[in-house]
Amino acid sequence: MRSVRLVTERPAWLRYGAAVVLTCLVVAGRVALDPVWGHQHNRHLVFIPIVMVAAWLGGLGPGVVSAVLTTGALGYFWMDGHEPLGVAGVELALFFAIGVALSAMVESMHRARARAEAAVRSRERVMEIVAHDLRNPLGAIGMSAEALRTPGHGQDRRHLDRIVNAVSRMDGLIGDLVDVAGIEHQTLAVTPSREPVEPIVRETAEAFLPKAEQRRITLEVESPPADLTIAADRARVVQLLGNLVGNALKFTPEGGRVALRVSRSDHQVRFEVADNGPGIAPENVPHIFEQYWKGAGQGTGLGLFIARSIARAHRGDLQVKTAPGAGATFFFTLPGN
């Protein structure tokens, strides 16, 4: 078995069908062995392994199905007619309960192993990111620092800017890794309070305006009403919006347009970041919020995963509307006034 995760990814008909076929074969085999083993010998213990095998191959549901079939077979083929009905019923109920318990135990083992494998894969991905993505800004820092040590270089400001930018990239990457660890352990820090929306939008726009101007992209901002407020963690909302605006600027060609809009709907506040870039291919849309998924792009593949996690931590969700050649619009809602 290549991965425990494949157990529940197999088609349901295959998992349940395999459990039924295997159980029926074992029951038939036990019936055929009656003349050799005797009618009562090992009438229970012989069926315990097949219940566990069914659960191991198919999960909890197929294991329970196998327990039902073997319990029925015991009652039909091997219950002595001289036994009191109550005693036989208790015996069958106990066997069924043991079968269900074993199936649940096997299922929990599957889940524990899957979590362990996921944790290992996550650590490997983190190490890849640290080794690859930190190397570039560290190299920039090293070259700029070496240039500053050269007599008569005369370009102090340019080298210092490179150092500051590289440090900023490293700080952002470390922050993303810390956030991912918090998401994986369900400890992402969110402290909601009543916050005005306008300063949040203004801060986000001011942070990305230089980048937009540098790439000759028009950054349109629809200022929300001054009295509009949200119940949210201000820093996290700024982080979420910044991720969406930065992503839009990255994928919008020069001369394009990125719009940041806010609207009120009942007791909700809707945030939108729209661009007129190339859009997202339909086959990629289901994957863009997955952890470490980058498609053909650059970066860590963590930005949209963290953004959606922040939205969900506020009991909302981050969604996208897109079509190839028609740009993309990312939107989410937060509780408002």
pLDDT above 70 for 266: yes
Same domain? For 331 and 197 the reply is: yes
Q: For residue 265, what is the domain's CATH number?
A: 3.30.565.10
Which structural domain range is residue 294 located in? 193-335
Tell me what pLDDT residue 140 has: 67
Same domain? For 71 and 160 the reply is: no
**Residue 230, helix vs strand vs coil:** strand
Same domain? For 107 and 41 the reply is: yes
What percentage of the chain's residues is helix, strand, coil (to nearest 5)? 60, 10, 30
Same domain? For 156 and 179 the reply is: yes
Higher pLDDT, 218 or 5: 218
Per-residue pLDDT, averaged over 17-23, amounts to 89
**Mean pLDDT taken over the chain:** 80
Token pair belonging to 214: 């540098």
Among 48-62, 141-155, 263-277, which stretch is predicted with the lowest mean pLDDT? 141-155
Per-residue pLDDT, averaged over 149-159, amounts to 60
Structurally, the chain folds into a number of domains equal to 3
For residue 64, tell me if it sits in a domain: yes
pLDDT above 50 for 6: no
pLDDT above 80 for 127: no
Higher pLDDT, 82 or 236: 236
What is the C-alpha end-to-end distance of the chain, expressed in Å? 53
pLDDT above 80 for 288: yes
Q: What does the alpha-carbon distance between residue 90 and residue 186 come to, in Å, rounded to a whole number?
A: 43
Same domain? For 198 and 158 the reply is: no
Same domain? For 172 and 197 the reply is: no
Same domain? For 222 and 310 the reply is: yes
* Percent share of the chain, pLDDT over 70: 69
What is the band of 147 on the pLDDT scale with cuts at 50, 70, 90?
low
Are 66 and 22 within 8 A, CB to CB? Answer: yes
In tens, the pLDDT along 269-284 reads 999 999 998 988 888 8
Tell me what pLDDT residue 153 has: 52
Same domain? For 234 and 206 the reply is: yes
What is the band of 2 on the pLDDT scale with cuts at 50, 70, 90?
very low
Q: What does the alpha-carbon distance between residue 321 and residue 305 come to, in Å, rounded to a whole number?
A: 17
Q: Of the candidates 168, 142, 329, which has an alpha carbon nearest to the alpha carbon of residue 244?
A: 329
For residue 125, tell me if it sits in a domain: no
pLDDT above 70 for 204: yes
Per-residue pLDDT, averaged over 286-311, amounts to 78
Same domain? For 222 and 156 the reply is: no
For residue 29, tell me if it sits in a domain: yes
Among 116-120, 222-226, 233-237, which stretch is predicted with the lowest mean pLDDT? 116-120
* Percent share of the chain, pLDDT over 90: 19
For residue 1, tell me if it sits in a domain: no
pLDDT above 50 for 112: yes
Please state whether 231 falls in left (phi above 0), alpha (psi between -120 and 50) or beta.
beta
Same domain? For 219 and 169 the reply is: no
Tell me what pLDDT residue 1 has: 33
For residue 37, tell me if it sits in a domain: yes
For residue 123, tell me if it sits in a domain: no
Token pair belonging to 211: 């980048």
For residue 20, tell me if it sits in a domain: yes
Same domain? For 328 and 212 the reply is: yes
